[in-house]
Structure 1
Protein backbone atom coordinates (compact mmCIF):
# COMPACT_ATOMS: atom_id res chain seq x y z
CA UNK A 1 0.00 0.00 0.00
CA UNK A 2 2.83 2.43 0.82
CA UNK A 3 4.24 1.95 -2.68
CA UNK A 4 0.93 3.05 -4.22
CA UNK A 5 0.64 6.04 -1.89
CA UNK A 6 4.12 7.25 -2.81
CA UNK A 7 3.62 6.71 -6.53
CA UNK A 8 0.21 8.43 -6.70
CA UNK A 9 1.45 11.27 -4.49
CA UNK A 10 4.47 11.78 -6.77
CA UNK A 11 2.24 11.88 -9.86
CA UNK A 12 3.68 8.69 -11.37
CA UNK A 13 0.22 7.52 -12.46
CA UNK A 14 -1.25 10.88 -13.55
CA UNK A 15 -0.66 9.98 -17.21
CA UNK A 16 -3.47 7.40 -16.94
CA UNK A 17 -5.94 10.28 -16.76
CA UNK A 18 -4.43 12.35 -19.58
CA UNK A 19 -2.70 10.20 -22.23
CA UNK A 20 -4.91 9.39 -25.25
CA UNK A 21 -3.76 5.76 -25.52
CA UNK A 22 -4.59 5.23 -21.84
CA UNK A 23 -7.92 7.07 -21.98
CA UNK A 24 -8.95 5.04 -25.05
CA UNK A 25 -9.27 1.98 -22.85
CA UNK A 26 -11.47 3.84 -20.38
CA UNK A 27 -13.60 5.13 -23.25
CA UNK A 28 -14.19 1.58 -24.46
CA UNK A 29 -15.08 0.47 -20.94
CA UNK A 30 -17.52 3.40 -20.68
CA UNK A 31 -19.03 2.43 -24.03
CA UNK A 32 -19.55 -1.14 -22.85
CA UNK A 33 -21.18 0.12 -19.63
CA UNK A 34 -23.60 2.27 -21.64
CA UNK A 35 -24.36 -0.53 -24.10
CA UNK A 36 -24.99 -3.35 -21.64
CA UNK A 37 -26.43 -1.57 -18.57
CA UNK A 38 -27.08 2.16 -19.04
CA UNK A 39 -28.74 2.30 -15.61
CA UNK A 40 -26.77 -0.44 -13.84
CA UNK A 41 -24.81 -0.32 -10.61
CA UNK A 42 -21.08 -0.17 -11.40
CA UNK A 43 -18.18 -1.33 -9.22
CA UNK A 44 -14.76 -0.20 -10.48
CA UNK A 45 -12.09 -2.26 -8.70
CA UNK A 46 -8.74 -0.49 -8.46
CA UNK A 47 -10.27 2.67 -9.93
CA UNK A 48 -7.17 4.81 -9.35
CA UNK A 49 -7.90 8.34 -10.57
CA UNK A 50 -11.45 7.42 -11.62
CA UNK A 51 -10.76 7.97 -15.32
CA UNK A 52 -13.53 5.58 -16.39
CA UNK A 53 -16.13 7.97 -14.94
CA UNK A 54 -15.25 10.51 -17.65
CA UNK A 55 -16.93 8.13 -20.12
CA UNK A 56 -20.08 7.29 -18.15
CA UNK A 57 -23.45 8.96 -18.58
CA UNK A 58 -25.06 10.86 -15.69
CA UNK A 59 -27.33 8.05 -14.46
CA UNK A 60 -24.34 5.68 -14.38
CA UNK A 61 -22.24 8.10 -12.35
CA UNK A 62 -24.96 8.07 -9.67
CA UNK A 63 -24.71 4.25 -9.53
CA UNK A 64 -20.89 4.14 -9.59
CA UNK A 65 -18.61 3.01 -6.76
CA UNK A 66 -14.86 3.11 -7.26
CA UNK A 67 -12.55 1.12 -4.97
CA UNK A 68 -8.85 1.72 -4.51
CA UNK A 69 -6.26 0.97 -1.83
CA UNK A 70 -4.54 4.29 -2.44
CA UNK A 71 -5.90 7.25 -0.47
CA UNK A 72 -3.70 9.51 -2.62
CA UNK A 73 -5.32 8.25 -5.83
CA UNK A 74 -8.79 8.79 -4.39
CA UNK A 75 -7.91 12.32 -3.21
CA UNK A 76 -7.05 13.15 -6.81
CA UNK A 77 -10.18 11.35 -8.05
CA UNK A 78 -12.56 13.43 -5.89
CA UNK A 79 -12.74 15.98 -8.72
CA UNK A 80 -14.86 13.38 -10.59
CA UNK A 81 -17.71 13.86 -8.06
CA UNK A 82 -18.68 10.21 -7.75
CA UNK A 83 -18.57 7.75 -4.86
CA UNK A 84 -15.26 6.17 -3.87
CA UNK A 85 -14.19 3.82 -1.09
CA UNK A 86 -10.65 3.38 0.18
CA UNK A 87 -10.29 -0.39 0.52
CA UNK A 88 -8.63 -3.46 -0.89
CA UNK A 89 -11.03 -5.57 -2.97
CA UNK A 90 -10.10 -8.65 -0.91
CA UNK A 91 -11.58 -6.87 2.15
CA UNK A 92 -14.60 -5.38 0.36
CA UNK A 93 -17.97 -6.61 1.61
CA UNK A 94 -21.22 -5.77 -0.14
CA UNK A 95 -24.84 -6.82 0.08
CA UNK A 96 -25.40 -4.80 -3.10
CA UNK A 97 -25.28 -6.74 -6.35
CA UNK A 98 -23.61 -4.89 -9.23
CA UNK A 99 -24.64 -5.14 -12.88
CA UNK A 100 -21.11 -4.19 -13.94
CA UNK A 101 -17.78 -4.96 -12.25
CA UNK A 102 -14.69 -3.44 -13.84
CA UNK A 103 -11.10 -4.70 -13.50
CA UNK A 104 -9.14 -2.17 -15.56
CA UNK A 105 -5.46 -3.13 -15.47
CA UNK A 106 -5.61 -4.33 -11.84
CA UNK A 107 -5.85 -8.11 -11.82
CA UNK A 108 -2.04 -8.36 -12.13
CA UNK A 109 -1.80 -7.03 -8.57
CA UNK A 110 -4.28 -9.47 -7.00
CA UNK A 111 -4.83 -13.15 -6.61
CA UNK A 112 -6.87 -13.23 -9.81
CA UNK A 113 -8.73 -16.47 -9.03
CA UNK A 114 -9.89 -15.16 -5.64
CA UNK A 115 -10.79 -11.74 -7.06
CA UNK A 116 -12.86 -13.29 -9.86
CA UNK A 117 -14.69 -15.59 -7.41
CA UNK A 118 -15.44 -12.60 -5.19
CA UNK A 119 -16.73 -10.68 -8.22
CA UNK A 120 -19.02 -13.58 -9.07
CA UNK A 121 -20.55 -13.39 -5.57
CA UNK A 122 -21.51 -9.71 -5.89
CA UNK A 123 -22.40 -9.72 -9.58
CA UNK A 124 -26.10 -9.34 -10.42
CA UNK A 125 -27.69 -12.38 -12.08
CA UNK A 126 -27.33 -11.08 -15.65
CA UNK A 127 -24.42 -8.77 -14.89
CA UNK A 128 -21.12 -8.38 -16.71
CA UNK A 129 -17.49 -8.22 -15.74
CA UNK A 130 -15.24 -6.00 -17.85
CA UNK A 131 -11.55 -6.89 -17.79
CA UNK A 132 -8.78 -4.88 -19.40
CA UNK A 133 -5.27 -6.34 -19.60
CA UNK A 134 -2.21 -5.40 -21.58
CA UNK A 135 0.46 -7.48 -23.20
CA UNK A 136 3.80 -6.52 -24.59
CA UNK A 137 5.49 -8.36 -27.40
CA UNK A 138 7.13 -11.52 -26.01
CA UNK A 139 5.69 -10.90 -22.52
CA UNK A 140 2.33 -12.47 -21.84
CA UNK A 141 1.38 -11.35 -18.32
CA UNK A 142 -2.24 -11.69 -19.31
CA UNK A 143 -2.39 -15.41 -20.19
CA UNK A 144 -2.81 -16.67 -16.62
CA UNK A 145 -5.54 -14.14 -15.87
CA UNK A 146 -7.55 -14.89 -19.02
CA UNK A 147 -7.29 -18.61 -18.23
CA UNK A 148 -8.59 -18.03 -14.67
CA UNK A 149 -11.46 -15.90 -16.00
CA UNK A 150 -12.60 -18.70 -18.35
CA UNK A 151 -13.26 -20.99 -15.40
CA UNK A 152 -16.10 -18.77 -14.15
CA UNK A 153 -17.07 -16.58 -17.08
CA UNK A 154 -17.66 -16.69 -20.81
CA UNK A 155 -16.62 -13.95 -23.20
CA UNK A 156 -19.42 -12.06 -24.94
CA UNK A 157 -17.45 -9.29 -26.64
CA UNK A 158 -13.89 -7.97 -26.87
CA UNK A 159 -11.87 -5.18 -28.42
CA UNK A 160 -8.10 -4.95 -28.77
CA UNK A 161 -6.22 -1.67 -28.98
CA UNK A 162 -2.60 -1.52 -30.09
CA UNK A 163 -0.43 1.49 -29.41
CA UNK A 164 3.21 2.46 -29.19
CA UNK A 165 4.22 3.24 -25.62
CA UNK A 166 7.81 4.22 -24.87
CA UNK A 167 8.85 2.87 -28.29
CA UNK A 168 7.28 -0.54 -27.58
CA UNK A 169 4.21 -1.97 -29.22
CA UNK A 170 1.60 -2.66 -26.53
CA UNK A 171 -1.80 -4.28 -27.02
CA UNK A 172 -4.68 -3.97 -24.59
CA UNK A 173 -7.61 -6.35 -24.63
CA UNK A 174 -10.87 -5.12 -23.15
CA UNK A 175 -13.30 -7.97 -22.74
CA UNK A 176 -16.89 -8.26 -21.54
CA UNK A 177 -17.71 -11.47 -19.70
CA UNK A 178 -20.84 -13.07 -18.26
CA UNK A 179 -21.12 -15.87 -15.75
CA UNK A 180 -21.17 -19.39 -17.20
Structure 2
Protein backbone atom coordinates (compact mmCIF):
# COMPACT_ATOMS: atom_id res chain seq x y z
CA UNK A 1 0.00 0.00 0.00
CA UNK A 2 2.84 2.43 0.83
CA UNK A 3 4.16 2.47 -2.75
CA UNK A 4 0.69 3.35 -4.01
CA UNK A 5 0.46 6.17 -1.47
CA UNK A 6 3.33 7.95 -3.18
CA UNK A 7 0.75 8.84 -5.81
CA UNK A 8 -1.67 11.31 -4.20
CA UNK A 9 -4.59 9.98 -6.23
CA UNK A 10 -4.54 6.60 -4.43
CA UNK A 11 -6.94 6.40 -1.52
CA UNK A 12 -6.72 3.22 0.59
CA UNK A 13 -10.03 1.45 1.11
CA UNK A 14 -11.36 0.09 4.40
CA UNK A 15 -10.37 -3.35 3.11
CA UNK A 16 -6.77 -2.20 2.54
CA UNK A 17 -6.61 -0.88 6.11
CA UNK A 18 -8.28 -3.99 7.55
CA UNK A 19 -5.67 -6.23 5.93
CA UNK A 20 -2.84 -4.13 7.35
CA UNK A 21 -4.30 -4.01 10.85
CA UNK A 22 -5.14 -7.73 10.79
CA UNK A 23 -1.53 -8.51 9.82
CA UNK A 24 -0.21 -6.49 12.77
CA UNK A 25 1.59 -4.03 10.49
CA UNK A 26 0.68 -0.96 12.57
CA UNK A 27 1.53 -2.38 16.01
CA UNK A 28 4.91 -0.64 15.88
CA UNK A 29 3.05 2.60 16.68
CA UNK A 30 2.96 1.49 20.33
CA UNK A 31 6.76 1.07 20.41
CA UNK A 32 9.58 3.08 21.93
CA UNK A 33 10.48 5.09 18.78
CA UNK A 34 6.97 6.62 18.81
CA UNK A 35 6.94 7.67 22.49
CA UNK A 36 8.50 11.13 22.13
CA UNK A 37 6.09 12.04 19.33
CA UNK A 38 3.13 10.86 21.40
CA UNK A 39 4.43 12.87 24.39
CA UNK A 40 4.38 16.08 22.34
CA UNK A 41 0.79 15.38 21.23
CA UNK A 42 -0.25 14.75 24.84
CA UNK A 43 1.58 17.92 25.93
CA UNK A 44 -0.28 20.01 23.37
CA UNK A 45 -3.57 18.43 24.48
CA UNK A 46 -2.75 19.26 28.12
CA UNK A 47 -2.03 22.88 27.17
CA UNK A 48 -5.39 23.29 25.42
CA UNK A 49 -7.74 25.97 26.72
CA UNK A 50 -10.49 23.64 27.94
CA UNK A 51 -9.97 22.06 31.39
CA UNK A 52 -12.18 19.05 30.57
CA UNK A 53 -12.05 18.75 26.78
CA UNK A 54 -14.04 16.80 24.25
CA UNK A 55 -11.38 15.05 22.14
CA UNK A 56 -11.83 13.80 18.58
CA UNK A 57 -9.04 11.57 17.20
CA UNK A 58 -9.30 11.35 13.40
CA UNK A 59 -7.65 8.19 12.08
CA UNK A 60 -7.27 6.68 15.55
CA UNK A 61 -6.32 3.20 14.34
CA UNK A 62 -6.19 0.74 17.22
CA UNK A 63 -6.48 3.49 19.84
CA UNK A 64 -2.78 3.73 20.63
CA UNK A 65 -2.91 7.47 21.33
CA UNK A 66 -5.81 7.08 23.76
CA UNK A 67 -3.55 5.07 26.06
CA UNK A 68 -1.18 8.06 26.18
CA UNK A 69 -4.04 10.54 26.72
CA UNK A 70 -5.63 8.62 29.61
CA UNK A 71 -3.77 10.56 32.31
CA UNK A 72 -5.30 13.83 31.12
CA UNK A 73 -8.66 15.01 32.36
CA UNK A 74 -11.12 14.88 29.48
CA UNK A 75 -14.88 14.74 29.23
CA UNK A 76 -15.07 12.40 26.24
CA UNK A 77 -12.74 10.86 23.69
CA UNK A 78 -14.04 9.77 20.31
CA UNK A 79 -11.80 7.90 17.90
CA UNK A 80 -12.72 7.37 14.28
CA UNK A 81 -11.01 5.24 11.66
CA UNK A 82 -11.94 3.76 8.31
CA UNK A 83 -10.88 0.25 9.42
CA UNK A 84 -13.46 -1.84 11.31
CA UNK A 85 -10.62 -4.21 12.34
CA UNK A 86 -8.71 -1.35 14.00
CA UNK A 87 -11.86 -0.01 15.65
CA UNK A 88 -12.73 -3.45 17.06
CA UNK A 89 -9.26 -3.63 18.65
CA UNK A 90 -9.54 -0.06 19.96
CA UNK A 91 -12.90 -0.77 21.61
CA UNK A 92 -11.30 -3.55 23.64
CA UNK A 93 -9.43 -0.93 25.70
CA UNK A 94 -12.15 1.76 25.79
CA UNK A 95 -13.20 3.23 29.11
CA UNK A 96 -16.60 4.68 30.01
CA UNK A 97 -15.76 8.11 28.49
CA UNK A 98 -14.36 6.64 25.26
CA UNK A 99 -16.06 5.69 22.00
CA UNK A 100 -14.84 4.43 18.65
CA UNK A 101 -16.53 4.43 15.29
CA UNK A 102 -15.59 2.92 11.93
CA UNK A 103 -16.29 5.88 9.67
CA UNK A 104 -14.38 7.87 7.10
CA UNK A 105 -13.02 11.27 8.09
CA UNK A 106 -14.80 12.85 5.14
CA UNK A 107 -18.29 11.90 6.34
CA UNK A 108 -18.16 12.40 10.10
CA UNK A 109 -20.29 15.05 11.78
CA UNK A 110 -19.57 15.17 15.54
CA UNK A 111 -22.45 15.10 18.02
CA UNK A 112 -20.89 17.92 20.02
CA UNK A 113 -18.20 20.48 19.22
CA UNK A 114 -14.78 19.04 19.99
CA UNK A 115 -12.27 21.11 21.97
CA UNK A 116 -9.34 19.14 20.57
CA UNK A 117 -9.11 17.45 17.19
CA UNK A 118 -6.10 15.23 16.61
CA UNK A 119 -4.78 14.29 13.18
CA UNK A 120 -2.07 11.84 14.20
CA UNK A 121 -0.22 10.48 11.16
CA UNK A 122 -3.38 10.46 9.04
CA UNK A 123 -3.46 13.50 6.75
CA UNK A 124 -1.38 11.96 3.97
CA UNK A 125 -3.97 9.20 3.61
CA UNK A 126 -6.88 11.60 3.12
CA UNK A 127 -8.20 13.23 0.00
CA UNK A 128 -8.32 17.04 -0.19
CA UNK A 129 -6.54 17.79 3.09
CA UNK A 130 -7.18 21.52 2.87
CA UNK A 131 -10.97 21.19 2.57
CA UNK A 132 -11.17 18.45 5.20
CA UNK A 133 -9.08 20.26 7.82
CA UNK A 134 -10.94 23.50 7.15
CA UNK A 135 -14.24 21.70 7.80
CA UNK A 136 -12.93 20.20 11.04
CA UNK A 137 -11.49 23.51 12.27
CA UNK A 138 -14.94 25.05 11.81
CA UNK A 139 -16.38 22.39 14.16
CA UNK A 140 -14.12 23.34 17.07
CA UNK A 141 -15.46 24.88 20.25
CA UNK A 142 -14.52 28.50 21.15
CA UNK A 143 -11.07 27.69 22.59
CA UNK A 144 -10.57 24.68 20.34
CA UNK A 145 -7.32 23.47 18.84
CA UNK A 146 -6.16 20.91 16.34
CA UNK A 147 -3.01 18.87 16.82
CA UNK A 148 -1.29 17.52 13.73
CA UNK A 149 1.55 15.02 13.49
CA UNK A 150 3.15 14.32 10.10
CA UNK A 151 6.13 12.10 9.30
CA UNK A 152 8.91 14.28 7.88
CA UNK A 153 9.22 13.65 4.16
CA UNK A 154 9.61 16.13 1.32
CA UNK A 155 6.51 14.68 -0.32
CA UNK A 156 4.48 15.76 2.75
CA UNK A 157 5.36 19.47 2.44
CA UNK A 158 2.05 20.09 0.64
CA UNK A 159 0.25 19.18 3.87
CA UNK A 160 1.93 22.00 5.79
CA UNK A 161 1.20 24.48 3.00
CA UNK A 162 -2.48 23.43 3.11
CA UNK A 163 -2.61 23.74 6.89
CA UNK A 164 -1.12 27.23 6.71
CA UNK A 165 -3.85 28.29 4.30
CA UNK A 166 -6.78 27.09 6.47
CA UNK A 167 -5.53 27.62 10.01
CA UNK A 168 -3.03 29.38 12.24
CA UNK A 169 -0.02 27.28 13.19
CA UNK A 170 0.49 28.48 16.77
CA UNK A 171 3.38 26.19 17.70
CA UNK A 172 5.36 23.55 15.88
CA UNK A 173 8.16 21.18 16.85
CA UNK A 174 10.18 18.47 15.19
CA UNK A 175 10.89 15.22 16.97
CA UNK A 176 13.71 13.06 15.66
CA UNK A 177 14.39 9.55 16.96
CA UNK A 178 17.85 7.98 16.92
CA UNK A 179 16.69 5.44 14.32
CA UNK A 180 16.37 8.34 11.87
CA UNK A 181 12.61 8.78 11.88
CA UNK A 182 11.35 12.35 12.34
CA UNK A 183 7.95 14.00 12.72
CA UNK A 184 6.63 17.53 12.69
CA UNK A 185 3.93 18.14 15.26
CA UNK A 186 1.91 21.35 15.37
CA UNK A 187 -0.80 23.04 17.38
CA UNK A 188 -3.26 24.73 15.01
CA UNK A 189 -6.13 27.13 15.66
CA UNK A 190 -8.89 28.21 13.30
CA UNK A 191 -8.29 31.42 11.37
CA UNK A 192 -9.23 34.63 13.16
TM-score, with normalisation over the residues of structure 1?
0.89
| Aligned-pair Cα RMSD in Å | 1.5
Q: Does 1:127 align with 2:144?
A: yes
Distance 2:104 2:84 in 1: 11
Task: Name structure 1 gaps, 5 residues minimum.
Answer: none
Offset of 1:121 from its aligned partner? 2.4
1:3 pairs, out of 16, 36, 54, with 16
Counterparts of 1:1-180 in structure 2, within 5 Å, are: 1-17=14-30, 19-36=31-48, 37-56=50-69, 57=71, 59-60=73-74, 62-81=75-94, 82-110=98-126, 111-136=128-153, 140-165=154-179, 169-180=180-191
Normalising by structure 2, we get a TM-score of 0.83
Q: Any idea what the Cα deviations from partners look like across 1:127-147, whole Å, max 9, x if unmatched?
A: 1010000114xxx12210111
Structure richer in strand, relative to its length: 1
CA-to-aligned-CA distance 1:69-103 (integer Å, 9 cap, x gap): 10111111123212111100101112411111000
In structure 1, distance between residues paired with 2:160 and 2:72: 31
Unaligned runs of 5+ in 2: 1-13
